[in-house]
Structure 1
């Protein structure tokens, strides 16, 4: 039984923390640090200035009294956390950017380990002793980690694909504990609860777990979201264990943040049981649970009407945690289709599979579906195909005749599905008049839940599904019109280009056909729907594109959280149990790379492209969260991410090559010269 008092006041929680500091009750302190009130009232309490370059990595000592920072200026600075002042500085022998820093434990915080872009690992002393140099890597050293209460071992990860264990007792004989050929290691962090394990991130979508007692070229386990296995762009920039070693958080470039379980998970239910994130699902409805479900549905419906589909999904998922009804699964599936963020469709596959296989048909007291999933699903897949093709056509200079024919076939198929969908909507209106029910019963229920009955909850789900289907139909019509217009423009450009039989045109046509074959073969409707999610939680809304050193960190305790920085200059905090974004704060003018929670104080340290470090702590006076602005920021980041992923690097490179080739082959009178460059008039 938890000893944490049942209070929501932040000041009461902090007073409670003060009584426990002397006892070192870290579990209780973690409960306070992860309380939602902590993240709703954060403010910048101190700005630490001393570096002259980007601050790439931060590290607290074991007591949390000191903060170590490494920067592009090749210096290590040691800060007094309580005073917010500079205590020591070390002019390291590094001549390039420092990416990894750690206090070496059990040395009275006098020895510091660092790794840098100059491919070296160095151990510096604050007592003036000579620096130790380790030249074991052939490429940039990205992270440094140490084992708790062990002053002898240092673990360095490098982009040469290797992780070394450096023993300070035998410095001439470093041990290679990981080697991954043809890839670059971005991070390697120890399991705090079982230090023989290392979690390794590389420039591919997989997260590897190695046991350093075993073979260095064979991982003990690997993890990857199923929908990222065959994608080229996303790769992991950083991964780490939680305090107990039961979960791994991984931050992906061109994607989001994923949390994996380190146990043998076979189903979503076992994941929830292990993490204790969700209550046990009920079978027979009770009045108390029905009111909880109705409360969650009303909140989801409110956010749905504001087009805030992310929050609507969070609350509908809370309802699914109580009753896993077919209606709730259908609502969640439609919300995923409406939102359309990266990975949403794969996240909805479990609901889709259960609905198609009717796994819940034997659940007692379950309301019957008034609309056939066999009509909704093909319609949704057509909508998703349109959205996917639209993203491609926005950046396509032209389309081949085969692609034009394929897209026209999809447009015709979607039009036929729309006709069937309208018929289904008309039948639903006859069976269950939506507006009449809402005006006579629905509005009254939102004001007085004491009138609530089981049938009212069922009717509200029927009503909401009908409203969502109307929105789906409107979105499908809009997408079909946009795709048809872009396809027509691209076809006109192709016919104009066909009149110019040049080498440039033949190269362009060849590259275009290759790209279009990839686009058509990866349509959402053609994806494998049998694969499992392979992850427990997914967090989106931040932007990770411009830097490959973004960290992700856990806050453990009764209310576990995940923290990460973003390219928009904010850092984000999500609840691990609900997936809800608890807060986002502006911490840098460019990008935030490091977000590090204090070991036990209600304090967070952040750093990024700017040359300073910011300390964040809760304020007792006001709430600093603007939910509407936070939602707009998240949507803007996802839109940018979709745009970047819709125009991958190989297409940019191909266009540059074609422009250069066109410039060379163009007649002299059609060229414009800029300094030493040439530009062709189109």
Structure 2
């Protein structure tokens, strides 16, 4: 059941003070326990959707916030309400947090009414009121090593830092302001979610209304003052003034040092406009760091779930790593098919050696058995099952180009969102392992064309024809050439129109002359009399700094893993979290929550958690115990259940997983008007200062 035996674990525990957390995370959420997760109990007390859940650090109290404008503190193990807080909120509560270092005495809440309240739980008093956001506040985040501080993000495009030790009027400061910078499209400037890296709390991740996850180093950022809404006027408010960036660097920081890194699935940046034309919105609904602070999980609304390795900035989108870098001059030779080559002498020594080295790709019996099962599923057109078998086989044989090539073919057949790009990555991997892998080379060209990267597809196919001239005469190859040439002709006319409109400024790159003349070591001189950083820079420096920013954004870090099967379209507060060291969990629009194996990316368990939508999935900090909530007013608790005599109501395991995931893919690509009913209930505009009373606003679509 465990990865190591108990004696080894005890030995490491004595040597490493942090090993207990690793040991605990691995064993408590072991595969054995996760596979036996099932319904445990319900917590009833709310009268509306439960939009947020939060465990205290000890795991003894569960806090919940709801559309009924109440916060309830629970003892979930005894299914008992400990305290009910009647808040001053006038809109749905979206965030609730225990403030660290206060022994669970202080907690904060945020809501659709744009307000944040801080409570003394023991005295049942509201001790601070924060009215600094201009639109709905979506999330609150804390850092365990930063007592009395917390952060909030809102649909006004602000990320604020709050210090409860200060006077209420001075407690809040602007850390990031996306509404004031032209580098973020105004349509994407709403701050949907944020997360603090608990292992290194100087790093803060933010998700907006686009597919980019942004991680900032807070140590480089200057806090800017902000006043409460009541004291702000249209003329005096400094928040509407345009600035060069969404942040302001500290005075001693080199202005050419960009304090953030972008993370995005490599196929999405160039397809944002295409998604908009299809009326499909891509926005990050939740971000989460793993306990070690080395990975970031992003739940991408309208698409899939993605995992990023924070310390692998070399993982650039494959689009920009030209396939030609895989080969050197010795590879630019003709490779004859085996049927026309009876001896190895007709093949250059280097290629002959590579072919002979295929012995090292021999699969273990278990991996070979999985490959055969995958091949059989592929023949039956059961692509979902085939991919799962290939995932398991690759985990056992990570150096097998055949497995990567076969999985690429299966992904291309399944063709879910992101599958073609994932297939292209597999083709790259297969060619890195074996440059003579013909099928991967041809599939790479097809993937590039399907991704609408037609010029690279044409070059790739020409290179393929040079290396495999006999195979290049096949009907499939000729058909692909025709498709690419037709697409190139059409895209050439389209590019001419786009250049005239200057519509692609976001992805402008730095020219060679500008790059050569730019000295990053020189800091532009600042005018001390100027109050704003951007105003102190010359127009030329502004242009250079902007291009540095955009260049770094264009070189965003690509994902390391993706998890498919759930549906994230209807609400923009849908969570995804790490479950121990080896599992990932997320809610879904079909009323279920999914659990994936982090290594294979396969679905391990699907549980029916809500009659409509599961938004919140919060694992217990120390036990194999999960709390979920959504549109229903009940909170449901889940734990390993080894009792086979469950009633139909208690047994909430989804057995037909294949049908569930296929239906979810259909939903994700349906017309957004099918979800219009979720927005019709949102009849309150919190930008109206005169709005009052208890008005419940349903969780709106992303």
Whether 1:240 aligns to 2:315 is no
Query: Under a length normalisation based on structure 2, what TM-score does the superposition of the two structures give?
Result: 0.62
Residues 608-652 of structure 1 show CA distances to partners (whole Å, capped at 9, x for unaligned) of 001110000011234979786011100111122233489999xxx
Q: Distance in 1 between matches of 2:214 and 2:619?
A: 24
In structure 2, relative to structure 1, the CA distance for the partners of 1:328 and 1:99 (3 Å cut) is same
Q: Distance in 1 between matches of 2:427 and 2:674?
A: 29
Whether 1:98 aligns to 2:93 is yes
How far off its partner does 1:107 sit? 2.4
Whether 1:177 aligns to 2:175 is yes
What root-mean-square deviation, in Å, do the aligned CA atoms of Structure 1 and Structure 2 show? 3.9
1:396-407 equivalent positions in 2, closer than 5 A? none
Match of 1:221 in 2: 261
The correspondence for 1:200, drawn from 200, 203, 206, is: 206
Q: Distance in 1 between matches of 2:50 and 2:315?
A: 41
Q: Give the stretch that moved more between structures: 109-118 or 54-63.
A: 109-118
Match of 1:536 in 2: 560
Q: Give the stretch that moved more between structures: 141-150 or 590-599.
A: 141-150
In structure 2, relative to structure 1, the CA distance for the partners of 1:132 and 1:267 (3 Å cut) is closer
Equivalent pairs counted in the alignment come to 483
Report the 3-state secondary structure (helix = DSSP H, G, I; strand = E; otherwise coil) of the residue aligned with 1:342. Answer: coil
In structure 2, relative to structure 1, the CA distance for the partners of 1:220 and 1:324 (3 Å cut) is same
Report the 3-state secondary structure (helix = DSSP H, G, I; strand = E; otherwise coil) of the residue aligned with 1:185. Answer: coil
Q: Distance in 2 between matches of 1:155 and 1:167?
A: 9
Whether 1:262 aligns to 2:294 is no
Whether 1:550 aligns to 2:574 is yes
In structure 2, relative to structure 1, the CA distance for the partners of 1:354 and 1:101 (3 Å cut) is closer
Report the 3-state secondary structure (helix = DSSP H, G, I; strand = E; otherwise coil) of the residue aligned with 1:226. Answer: coil
Q: Give the stretch that moved more between structures: 189-198 or 99-108.
A: 99-108
Report the 3-state secondary structure (helix = DSSP H, G, I; strand = E; otherwise coil) of the residue aligned with 2:220. Answer: coil
In structure 2, relative to structure 1, the CA distance for the partners of 1:144 and 1:311 (3 Å cut) is same
In structure 2, relative to structure 1, the CA distance for the partners of 1:640 and 1:422 (3 Å cut) is farther
Whether 1:633 aligns to 2:660 is yes
In structure 2, relative to structure 1, the CA distance for the partners of 1:197 and 1:381 (3 Å cut) is closer
Q: Give the stretch that moved more between structures: 118-127 or 588-597.
A: 118-127
Match of 2:613 in 1: 591
The correspondence for 2:53, drawn from 51, 58, 71, is: 58
How far off its partner does 1:372 sit? 9.3
In structure 2, relative to structure 1, the CA distance for the partners of 1:31 and 1:625 (3 Å cut) is farther
- Do the aligned partners of 1:248 and 1:261 also contact (CA within 8 Å) in 2? yes
How far off its partner does 1:602 sit? 0.9
The correspondence for 2:109, drawn from 114, 129, 143, is: 114
1:525-674 equivalent positions in 2, closer than 5 A? 534-557=558-581, 560-622=582-644, 629-644=656-671
1:338-353 equivalent positions in 2, closer than 5 A? 338-353=413-428
Match of 1:678 in 2: none
Q: Name the structure where helix makes up a greater proportion of residues.
A: 1
In structure 2, relative to structure 1, the CA distance for the partners of 1:583 and 1:268 (3 Å cut) is farther
In structure 2, relative to structure 1, the CA distance for the partners of 1:540 and 1:531 (3 Å cut) is farther
Q: Distance in 1 between matches of 2:403 and 2:652?
A: 30
In structure 2, relative to structure 1, the CA distance for the partners of 1:213 and 1:83 (3 Å cut) is same
In structure 2, relative to structure 1, the CA distance for the partners of 1:71 and 1:208 (3 Å cut) is same
In structure 2, relative to structure 1, the CA distance for the partners of 1:646 and 1:66 (3 Å cut) is closer
- Do the aligned partners of 2:38 and 2:652 also contact (CA within 8 Å) in 1? no
1:19-34 equivalent positions in 2, closer than 5 A? 25-34=20-29
- Do the aligned partners of 1:587 and 1:614 also contact (CA within 8 Å) in 2? yes
1:447-526 equivalent positions in 2, closer than 5 A? none
1:289-438 equivalent positions in 2, closer than 5 A? 289-321=363-395, 322=397, 324-353=399-428, 359-361=432-434, 374=442
- Do the aligned partners of 1:300 and 1:313 also contact (CA within 8 Å) in 2? yes
Whether 1:131 aligns to 2:158 is no
Q: Distance in 2 between matches of 1:380 and 1:346?
A: 7
In structure 2, relative to structure 1, the CA distance for the partners of 1:424 and 1:42 (3 Å cut) is same
Q: Distance in 2 between matches of 1:302 and 1:41?
A: 29
How far off its partner does 1:50 sit? 0.4
In structure 2, list runs of 5 or more residues that go unmatched: 10-17, 180-185, 223-245, 248-258, 318-356, 453-469, 484-492, 499-553, 677-702
- Do the aligned partners of 2:205 and 2:214 also contact (CA within 8 Å) in 1? yes
- Do the aligned partners of 2:361 and 2:400 also contact (CA within 8 Å) in 1? no
Q: Distance in 1 between matches of 2:99 and 2:265?
A: 34
- Do the aligned partners of 2:619 and 2:625 also contact (CA within 8 Å) in 1? yes
Q: Give the stretch that moved more between structures: 124-133 or 158-167.
A: 124-133
Match of 2:328 in 1: none
Match of 2:155 in 1: 159
- Do the aligned partners of 1:350 and 1:532 also contact (CA within 8 Å) in 2? no
Q: Distance in 2 between matches of 1:362 and 1:373?
A: 8
Match of 2:301 in 1: 253
Query: Under a length normalisation based on structure 1, what TM-score does the superposition of the two structures give?
Result: 0.64
- Do the aligned partners of 1:254 and 1:645 also contact (CA within 8 Å) in 2? no
Whether 1:75 aligns to 2:97 is no
Q: Distance in 2 between matches of 1:155 and 1:30?
A: 27
- Do the aligned partners of 1:116 and 1:140 also contact (CA within 8 Å) in 2? yes
Q: Distance in 2 between matches of 1:78 and 1:597?
A: 16
How far off its partner does 1:316 sit? 2.1
Q: Distance in 2 between matches of 1:192 and 1:91?
A: 30
- Do the aligned partners of 1:308 and 1:631 also contact (CA within 8 Å) in 2? no
